[in-house]
Amino acid sequence: MSVERIGIGMLGYGFMGRAHAGAYRTLRHLPAPSPLVPSLVSVCGRTRSAVAAAAEEFGFAGSTTDWREVVADARVAVFDNTGPNSLHHAPTIAAARQGKHLICEKPLGLNADESFEMWAAASNAGVQHMCAFNYRFVPAVRLAREMLEAGELGEIYHFRGRYLQDWVLDPDLRRGWRLNRSMAGSGALGDLGAHVIDLARYLVGEPATVAATMAAFVTGRPDAGDLDEAVDDAVEAAVEFESGAIGTIEASRVCAGRKNALTFEISGSKGSIAFDLERLNELQVNLSGSTNPNLEGFRTVLVTQPQHPYLSNWWPPGHVLGWEHTFTHELAHFLNAIARDESVAPHGATFADGYRAAEVCDAIGRSARFGRREAVSYRALTSESVRTGI
Amino acid sequence: MSVERIGIGMLGYGFMGRAHAGAYRTLRHLPAPSPLVPSLVSVCGRTRSAVAAAAEEFGFAGSTTDWREVVADARVAVFDNTGPNSLHHAPTIAAARQGKHLICEKPLGLNADESFEMWAAASNAGVQHMCAFNYRFVPAVRLAREMLEAGELGEIYHFRGRYLQDWVLDPDLRRGWRLNRSMAGSGALGDLGAHVIDLARYLVGEPATVAATMAAFVTGRPDAGDLDEAVDDAVEAAVEFESGAIGTIEASRVCAGRKNALTFEISGSKGSIAFDLERLNELQVNLSGSTNPNLEGFRTVLVTQPQHPYLSNWWPPGHVLGWEHTFTHELAHFLNAIARDESVAPHGATFADGYRAAEVCDAIGRSARFGRREAVSYRALTSESVRTGI
Amino acid sequence: MSVERIGIGMLGYGFMGRAHAGAYRTLRHLPAPSPLVPSLVSVCGRTRSAVAAAAEEFGFAGSTTDWREVVADARVAVFDNTGPNSLHHAPTIAAARQGKHLICEKPLGLNADESFEMWAAASNAGVQHMCAFNYRFVPAVRLAREMLEAGELGEIYHFRGRYLQDWVLDPDLRRGWRLNRSMAGSGALGDLGAHVIDLARYLVGEPATVAATMAAFVTGRPDAGDLDEAVDDAVEAAVEFESGAIGTIEASRVCAGRKNALTFEISGSKGSIAFDLERLNELQVNLSGSTNPNLEGFRTVLVTQPQHPYLSNWWPPGHVLGWEHTFTHELAHFLNAIARDESVAPHGATFADGYRAAEVCDAIGRSARFGRREAVSYRALTSESVRTGI
Amino acid sequence: MSVERIGIGMLGYGFMGRAHAGAYRTLRHLPAPSPLVPSLVSVCGRTRSAVAAAAEEFGFAGSTTDWREVVADARVAVFDNTGPNSLHHAPTIAAARQGKHLICEKPLGLNADESFEMWAAASNAGVQHMCAFNYRFVPAVRLAREMLEAGELGEIYHFRGRYLQDWVLDPDLRRGWRLNRSMAGSGALGDLGAHVIDLARYLVGEPATVAATMAAFVTGRPDAGDLDEAVDDAVEAAVEFESGAIGTIEASRVCAGRKNALTFEISGSKGSIAFDLERLNELQVNLSGSTNPNLEGFRTVLVTQPQHPYLSNWWPPGHVLGWEHTFTHELAHFLNAIARDESVAPHGATFADGYRAAEVCDAIGRSARFGRREAVSYRALTSESVRTGI
C-alpha cells in the first residue's frame, strides 16, 4: 500500500492540542493505518517560548505565534483548530479560503451565526470539514448508534443526557478562557452541553423544542475582572425531539464528585441503553423486548471485543481503551474521508452538525433568558449563503 | 409501658391497601413499638366478595362496600385512604368532619384545589393528617435529609430526580384506574412525579419555577374507552428552587428496563449524594470538601447500621430491608404523632405537603400545556380558608 | 380452603428467634398462605424476664426457661431451634423423640458427628426436618438453581463463594456465644462458611476435596476468658467438586467494610452468574453462549418480577424484598411440606443436608490443621444408624 | 535538558510486542519525558515477512529472524524480550552476557530454576533488569501500594486475588503457544496467576504457603497434538503470607463473561481496598477506621486526578487512561532507572521478583499435584550463584 504524507497545521497547544497531536502520532501505527500519514508541520500559539516547547513535545516540525502563517503555509493541507472558542471563526474561515481541510474543536463558533458562517465558508471552499465532537468515536457510542439504526430499541421515547464536572467548584481556580464569556461564548452550555446535544442528534435525531434554565453559582474569582463576563455554571433543559421523543439535556461544572460524567440513557419500546464516559469502555443494554423475561436486566457490555466498532485496531478482549483514542479514531476517520473524498458524515460531525448544535445551544440560552419553550429552527445552506457566507 | 389500641378503617384494598395493612401488623412487633397498637377494624371496597377476602387476608375484623360506613364507624379513629385518586377528596373530608385522624395516599387530591380543600378540612377538624409519601421513610432518604440539615453538602446547587418504570409499555396491559384520567387525575406526573416532587421539597426546599414537557406515547389500549381520558406517560421538567438551586424532575412509565427506579442526585459546594430506590438500602455519598483528595469518590453507604435512621428496630448490619418497611416506618411515625399529639412534620408529609406537591404538579401541567416557564405559588391556610375549606 | 393451626415451640429468642417469629406472623397473610397456620405457643430461653419480654414482643402465648417443657408441650407440633450451636443437638433429638417436626438453625450440630446423630434421630422419628439454610430461599438464589437445572450455564467449571463480615474487628466487642468455641463449635467457618457450603451443594453439587487454611487474628477480647476457646476469624479453601468443577470457599468476620457479603460466582461452558447478599434482589447473569456476541455482558436481573420464584406473594416489579423474607419463604415451605407430608428437599435443606455441610466444615478444619488436601466423605443413613442414632 | 537516545532491540512482535512498541513511541512525548529517548533499532521474529511488516508498523528501523543478531547488535542497549515463554531464558541470558539492559515479559522463565538463572545472569552482568509485571504500573495499583505503605489499612488480614478470562472456552480456538506446555510452561497459572502473585507480593508481601488445586477442562483442540502437552485452564489456591494474612490466588481462562478480570481485595484492621482491571481507572476504598461510621462505605476513587500516581503526564480529571499505558509507565520507569543507574525496585519488578513469583507458581503446581500445603522457599543470590548462574 502506498502511503502519502499530509501536512497538519494546528492552532492551539493546550489540552485539546495535546490530545489531537497524540492522536496524529498514534494513528500512524495502527494495524489498519490511514492511507494519509499525518506530518506535523506547525503549531501556533500566543506565547513564543511555550508554543516552541509544545512543538518539541508534541512532535511538530515548527511553531509560530501568528495563525496567519499556518493558514498560509503551503505544506499544511489540514488546519486543525484547537484554540479558544473565540479563535474558531476567523482563522477557520481564513483557512477554508486557502483551501485547507478543516477540523475545528467544539463548539464550532461562539454562537449559531458564527457557526453558520464557518459551515458556509467550508462548503464554499469545497474542503473537508469536521467539528471535533470526539465522543461519537467512543466505541460504545458507535455501538449505540448501530443498535439504534438497526431498530433494536424500537420506537424511541426518551433521551436523557448529562455532562457533569466539578472543577469550577475550586474557589481558587484561575479564570482561564473557559470561564470568560467573550472568549468562550458560554460556560457549561457550550463546553459540555454541546457534547450532549451532538450525541442526542447523532443517536436520536433533531431536537424540536427546548425549555431551559441556567445558573451561575460561583462568583468572585481571584481574577474575575468584569462580572458581566461570568459564564453559566450549569444548564437544565427539557427537550422534545422531532420524532416525538422527550427528555433532558443537562450540563454542570459545579457537580461535586462528577469528574467527567457524560452520561446518557435512551429508552424505546423494545429496550434501553445507558452510557457513562467515566466508564467509556462499557455500554449498558436492556433488551426487554427480546429477552427471556425471567432474565431481563441491564447488561454491562464491555465494548472491547474485536468485532466492536473501532476495536479491530486494538487489543484482545477486556484490555480497555483510554479517553485519548476518541481522537485517534476521529482523526483517522477524518484522514480517511480526505483520502476517499467522502464526507465525514454520518459518523463524524461536519460543520453542518457543528452549526446545528449551536442552534440548539442558542435556543437553550433564549429559553433560559425569556422563560419560554423555544423551537429550534435550522437554517439551510443555500447557494446564496454558501457564496456570501452569511 | 401501657399500650392502647387505636382503630383503623381503610378505604381500598389494592396494592397500597395490602402495603398499609402489612405495616400495621408489623409495627406491633417492633422492639420499640408504638404506644398505640393498631386494631384493624374495617376495610372498604367496591366488590363485596373481594373486599371480604381482603379483610380476611389482611387481618381486618370486617369489611364494607360503603365508605360512609367506615367514616361513621365509632370504633375507627384513623381513616386510611388507599383508594383511587378520585376517591381521595370526598371520603377524606367526610372522615375529617367525623374527627378521624387522616392518612391519605398520594397524590393527595386530583389537583391542587382538591388537595387544598382536604388540607383545610383536616386543619379545621383539628385532626392529625399525613399524606403517604412513604419514600421519606426510606432510611437512606432520611439519612440524606440529616446530612443536608447538617450542612454536609454545603450550599446546594442541584437536585435531579427521576422516577422511571416500564409497565405501561406492555401493549396488552388492561387499563386500570391509574391509566384513566378521571380516576387518576394524571398519569406518570401524579403517580411518580409527585414522589420526586415531595423528595425535592423534603430534601432541598420549595420549587420556584418549572419548565416542562409531557407526552403520551402508548395509545389504543384494549379497553381504552374515551381517548380524551388518556393520561401522560412521561414528564420532563427543568426546575428552579427558591434557594437558587436548579435541576430536573422527571417521570416515566414507559422506560424499558427501569422497574421502580426512583433516583435522585443532590450536589452542593461540599459534596454530592445519590439514591436509587431499586437499591433502597444504599446511599451514594461524595464528600469532596472533607476528604483526602487522593481518596475522593462516591462511596456506597449500606444504610443498615444500628445507628442509621429507623434501623434500631431491625437486624444486624448488612441484613437489608425491603420496600414494604417504608410503610412500617411511616405508619409507626403516624401513630406516634397521634399518641404525642404532635404534627408528623417535618419527617412525615402533612396534608400541607400533599397540597404543595399538587401545586408543583399543576404548574408542571400548565407549563407543558402552555409552553412557558411557570412559577409555583402556594396558597396559605387562612382562618377563612380553614373555616370554608376553599 | 380450610386452614388448620399448628403449634410452634421455639428455643432461643435472639437474632434468629426474632427472624423466625416475624416470618411465622407474616406468612399467615400471604396471598397464597400455608394450609397450616402457625400458632406461636411457647418460647424458651435462659433468662426469665428477657424471654418473657421476647414472648410478648414476638407474639408467643407463653415462655419458659426450660427447653424440656417446650419439647414436652402437647400443643407444640414444631420444635424450632434457634439457640446457640451447643444447644442444637440434645434438645432437637429430644424433640424428635417426642414426635415434633424439627427446624434447626445452622450449623446443624457442633460437628459432623452431632449432625449425623440429629439426622438419624429425625429419620428414626419419622418427622419432618429442615436445617435453616435460609439463603436457599432468596429468590435470586432459587432462580440461579433453576437456571443451573435447566443447563443454561452448560457444564460447570467454577464455583467461588465467599461470606464476609466485619463485626469481629470491633476491639470492644463483647464475646457472645458466636466467639466461644464450646458454644459455637467454630467461628467464621460454621457461622458463615456453612452457608457458602450449603449454597455450593444446592447449586453445584457435592464437594469432593478441600485444601484450606484458617486464622484467628483478633485476640484479647475484654471477656475473652480461656484463650483456648478462641474461634477462627477467617477460613480460605480451594475446593474440588465431584463433578470436576473447582473453586473456592471463603469466610471471614474481619473483612473491613463487608457487612453481610455472601457472594458467589458460578461459571460454566455457556455462561456465568453472580450474586451478592447485600443486593439480594439482584442476580448477575452472563449468557455468553446464546447472546448476540456484540451485546454479551453481565446483566443485573432485578428478581422482583411476578413470575420469579417466591414473588407471586409480593409486590409489583422493582419493589424490593428484605432479608427477613428468606425466612418467610423458608418457613412457609416447611409448613407446606408438613401439610403435604413431603420432604422439604430439594429446595429446602434437610438434616441430611445439614449433616453433609458439617462434613465439609470438618474436612476444612482437618485440612487447615494438618496441611493436606482432605477428601470429604459422607456417611449414609443405614437402618442401623437410624435405630441407634450413631 | 539534554536527551540521549538508547537503542531498543526486541524479541517477539505479537500482542506484547505491539504493546511495548507503542509505549516506547508514546513515552517520548510525555510532558516529563525520560532523559533517555528510545530508538527502536531492531525486532526479531520467526517469520521473515511478518516480522518485517511488524517492524514497519511498530516503527523499528530493522528486523531479523535470528535473535542472536539482536543480542549482538552494538546499537542495541536494551534487550526487550516479548517472545514465548520458552524463548525467555536463553536469549535473555545471552543478552545479559553482552551487557544489554534487560526487560523480559512474565513469567520470567518456564519455571523457578530458569528464572533464578536469568536473575543470576543479570546480576552477574551488572545490567538493569525488569520483569514486565505491568500491572504494578496501573495508577490505581500504585495508589493501593502507597496506601498500604502508609498503613492506612492497618494490619493486613486478607489478600484475595483473581485473574479471570474466557477465551479458552472457544472450542474452535487454535492452539497458540499459550496453550502448549513446552512453550508456555503452564497455562492459566503462569499466564494469569503470575500477575496475581506479583501483585500479592508488591502489595502484601511474601506468600509463605499455598494449598492449591488445578484443572484442565477443555480438551480436543483442532490442533491439539500431544495430549500430554495440555496446560491448566484454571488454578485455585488458598495462601498464607509471611505476615500472617491469609487469602486466595485464583486464575482461569474458562470463566464465561470475564474478559480481563484481574481483581483483588485487600482487607486490614482499618479498612479495605478492591480493584478490577476491567475498570482500571478505579480503586474501591473503604476506610472503616477513620470515617464517620454513619457514612462508611466503599468509595469508587477515580484515579485520574493530577496528583495521583503517573497522572501528572496525562489529562484533566475523569479523562480515563487505557490499558496500554501500564506499559508507557513501566518502560518510562525502566529508562529512568537506566539513566539514573538505580534499580527498578520497589515499584518495578526486578528479575528477583520474577524469580520469586516463579517459586510461588512452582509451589502451587506441586501443591496441586501432591495434595498438600506447600511452603514457598526462596533461594538467595550468593556470589557463587551469581558467578555460575545456577
- To probe the interface with A, which of D24, D164, D260 has the most A CB atoms within 10 Å? D260
Helix, strand, or coil (residue A115): helix
* DSSP-assigned letter for residue C30: S
Q: How many CB atoms lie within 10 A of CB A388?
A: 11
Residue A145 pLDDT exceeds 90: yes
- A-chain residues near B296 (CB < 8 A): 257
Interface of C with A in 107-146 (CB under 8 A): 143
For residue D220, what pLDDT is reported? 62
For residue B13, what pLDDT is reported? 96
Whether residue C348 contacts residue C327, with contact meaning beta carbons closer than 8 Å, is answered with: no
Please state, for a pLDDT cut of 90, what percent of chain A lies above it.
86
Residue D308 pLDDT exceeds 80: yes
- Stretch A18-29: mean pLDDT: 96
For residue C224, what pLDDT is reported? 47
Exposure string for C117-129, b = 16+ CB within 10 A, e = fewer: bbbbbbbbbebbb
Nearest-angstrom CA–CA distance, A249 and A197? 7
Residue D184 pLDDT exceeds 80: yes
Whether residue C318 contacts residue B260, with contact meaning beta carbons closer than 8 Å, is answered with: yes
Q: C134 φ, ψ to 5°? A: -70, -20
Chain segment D50-93, per-residue pLDDT in tens: 999 999 999 999 999 999 999 999 999 999 999 999 999 999 99
Nearest to B297 among D285, D294, D307 (CB): D285
For residue B180, what pLDDT is reported? 87
3-state helix, strand, coil in chain C (%, to 5): 40, 25, 35
- To probe the interface with C, which of B281, B300, B311 has the most C CB atoms within 10 Å? B281
- Tell me the C-alpha to C-alpha distance, in Å, between residue B56 and each of B43, B53, B375, D367: 10, 5, 48, 63
Helix, strand, or coil (residue B158): strand
Interface of A with B in 308-347 (CB under 8 A): none
Nearest-angstrom CA–CA distance, A37 and A24? 8
- To probe the interface with B, which of A156, A169, A369 has the most B CB atoms within 10 Å? A169
Nearest-angstrom CA–CA distance, C127 and C351? 11
Nearest-angstrom CA–CA distance, B73 and D249? 69
Nearest-angstrom CA–CA distance, C119 and C108? 9
Chain segment A204-257, per-residue pLDDT in tens: 999 999 999 999 998 765 554 444 567 999 999 999 999 999 999 999 999 999
For residue C227, what pLDDT is reported? 43
Q: Where are the alpha helices (DSSP H) in chain A?
A: 15-27, 48-58, 67-72, 89-97, 112-125, 139-149, 181-184, 188, 194-203, 325-340, 351-370, 383-388
**B300–D contact, CB cutoff 8 A:** yes
Residue A41 pLDDT exceeds 80: yes
Please state, for a pLDDT cut of 90, what percent of chain B lies above it.
86
**D296–C contact, CB cutoff 8 A:** yes
- A-chain residues near B297 (CB < 8 A): 257
Which grid coordinates are listed for A293? 423475561
The reply to whether residue D320 touches residue A316, judged by beta carbons under 8 angstroms, is: no
Interface B:D, Cβ pairs < 8 A: 49
**D46–A contact, CB cutoff 8 A:** no
Nearest to B320 among C19, C33, C323 (CB): C323
For residue D86, what pLDDT is reported? 95
The reply to whether residue C318 touches residue B29, judged by beta carbons under 8 angstroms, is: no
pLDDT < 50 positions in chain B: 1, 224-227
Please state, for a pLDDT cut of 70, what percent of chain A lies above it.
96
* CA closest to A291 among chain B residues: B257
The reply to whether residue A315 touches residue D325, judged by beta carbons under 8 angstroms, is: no
* DSSP-assigned letter for residue C320: P
* CA closest to D304 among chain A residues: A259
For residue B390, what pLDDT is reported? 63
**C261–D contact, CB cutoff 8 A:** no
Confidence bin at D230 (pLDDT 50/70/90): confident
User: What ipTM was reported for this prediction?
Assistant: 0.95
Q: Which of A205, A255, A231 is nearest to A360 (CA)?
A: A205
Residue D325 pLDDT exceeds 80: yes
Chain segment D7-41, per-residue pLDDT in tens: 999 999 999 999 999 999 999 999 887 789 999 99
| Closest CA of chain A from D279, distance in Å | 7
- Stretch D228-243: mean pLDDT: 91
The reply to whether residue B296 touches residue A257, judged by beta carbons under 8 angstroms, is: yes
Chain segment A278-303, per-residue pLDDT in tens: 999 999 999 987 788 999 999 999 99
The reply to whether residue C301 touches residue A293, judged by beta carbons under 8 angstroms, is: no
Domains of chain C: 4-135 (3.40.50.720), 139-340 (3.30.360.10)
Whether residue B286 contacts residue A256, with contact meaning beta carbons closer than 8 Å, is answered with: yes
Q: What is the pLDDT along chain C (390 residues), one digit of tens a residue?
A: 467 999 999 999 999 999 999 999 999 999 887 789 999 999 999 999 999 999 999 999 999 999 999 999 999 999 999 999 999 999 999 999 999 999 999 999 999 999 999 999 999 999 999 999 999 999 999 999 999 999 999 999 999 999 999 999 987 787 788 888 889 889 999 999 999 999 999 999 999 999 999 999 987 655 544 445 679 999 999 999 999 999 999 999 999 999 999 999 999 999 999 999 999 999 999 998 778 899 999 999 999 999 999 999 999 999 999 999 999 999 999 999 999 999 999 999 999 999 999 999 999 999 999 999 999 999 998 877 776 766
- Stretch A124-136: mean pLDDT: 97
- A-chain residues near C297 (CB < 8 A): 285, 299-302
Q: How many CB atoms lie within 10 A of CB A93?
A: 22
- Stretch A306-310: mean pLDDT: 96
Which chains does A contact via 3+ CB–CB distances below 8 A? Answer: B, C, D
Whether residue A177 contacts residue A183, with contact meaning beta carbons closer than 8 Å, is answered with: yes
- To probe the interface with A, which of B192, B209, B213 has the most A CB atoms within 10 Å? B213
- Tell me the C-alpha to C-alpha distance, in Å, between residue C304 and each of A272, C140, C206, C265, C318: 19, 9, 30, 20, 6
Interface of C with D in 167-226 (CB under 8 A): 169, 209, 211-215, 217
**D301–B contact, CB cutoff 8 A:** yes
What is the C-alpha end-to-end distance of chain A, expressed in Å?
43
Give every strand in the sheet of B129-131, ordered side by side: B62-64, B36-44, B4-11, B78-81, B101-104, B129-131
- Strands D374-375 and D207-215: what pairing? antiparallel
Nearest to A320 among D22, D258, D322 (CB): D322
**B305–D contact, CB cutoff 8 A:** yes
Task: Give bridge partners of residue A156 from the DSSP assignment.
Answer: A268
The reply to whether residue A248 touches residue B238, judged by beta carbons under 8 angstroms, is: yes
- B-chain residues near C322 (CB < 8 A): 319-325
Helix, strand, or coil (residue D154): coil
Q: What is the mean pLDDT of chain D?
A: 94
- Tell me the C-alpha to C-alpha distance, in Å, between residue D169 and each of A57, C157, C170, C346: 45, 11, 44, 31
For residue D120, what pLDDT is reported? 97
Nearest-angstrom CA–CA distance, A357 and A173? 28
Nearest to C295 among A293, A294, A301 (CB): A301
* Residues constituting chain A: 390
The reply to whether residue D257 touches residue C272, judged by beta carbons under 8 angstroms, is: yes
Nearest to D293 among B287, B299, B307 (CB): B307
Residue A88 pLDDT exceeds 70: yes
Interface A:D, Cβ pairs < 8 A: 101
Please state, for a pLDDT cut of 90, what percent of chain D lies above it.
86
Chain segment A46-75, per-residue pLDDT in tens: 999 999 999 999 999 999 999 999 999 999
Confidence bin at D226 (pLDDT 50/70/90): very low
Q: A16 φ, ψ to 5°? A: -70, -35
**B166–D contact, CB cutoff 8 A:** no
| Closest CA of chain A from C137, distance in Å | 17
Phi-psi region of C226 (alpha: psi -120 to 50; beta: other; left: phi over 0): beta
Q: Which residue has the cell 424439627?
A: C102
Q: Where are the alpha helices (DSSP H) in chain C?
A: 15-27, 48-58, 67-72, 89-97, 112-125, 139-149, 181-184, 188, 194-203, 325-340, 351-370, 383-388
Exposure string for C323-333, b = 16+ CB within 10 A, e = fewer: bbbbbbbbbbb
Interface C:D, Cβ pairs < 8 A: 151
Whether residue D172 contacts residue D222, with contact meaning beta carbons closer than 8 Å, is answered with: yes
**B281–D contact, CB cutoff 8 A:** no
Confidence bin at D176 (pLDDT 50/70/90): confident
The reply to whether residue B317 touches residue C259, judged by beta carbons under 8 angstroms, is: yes
